[in-house]
Amino acid sequence: MIELRLRMMQPRPRRLLSLVSATLLASCGDGPAGSGETPPPTANVNVANILFQSARNGSTDPAIDTVATGGTVTWTWTEAGTHTVRFDDAGFPESPAFSDDGSVFSTSFPDAGSYTYDCGVHGLGMTGTIVVK
């Protein structure tokens, strides 16, 4: 019983990797050569065949994007295939299970922080992090 509790308390490796990656990218800023410019108000993520990909920087699984506090991120299905956007933070809604190329899901981030997500269909096979500053 104690062993089971200890295993349950350990962080999921993907969350740790996403958090470390997001921290490293966030410290570099979004401008050229890590200039630390103000983050943009919006970001776009492509949803394709078992991957999330940042439209801004090309990062995939985890797709990592930075937006300003209050910013909006839009996920666009660029290939047919059933996927959802599911946040680790229960305060954010999961997207509907879209299958069609061109489907879109958007959500805003009112508070600064790091928000990890995955696909409700493929789990750890599709991951991403939104850094809000």
Burial of 92 (0-12, 13-18, 19+ CB in 10 A): middle
pLDDT tens per residue across all 133 residues of the chain: 333 333 333 444 444 444 444 444 444 444 433 457 899 999 999 999 999 999 999 999 999 999 999 999 999 999 989 999 999 999 999 999 999 999 999 999 999 999 999 999 999 999 999 999 9
> In this structure, are residues 40 and 131 in contact, taking their beta carbons and an 8 Å threshold?
no
- Please give the Cα distance from 61 to 14 (Å, whole number): 10
Which CATH fold topology does 12-132 show?
Immunoglobulin-like (2.60.40)
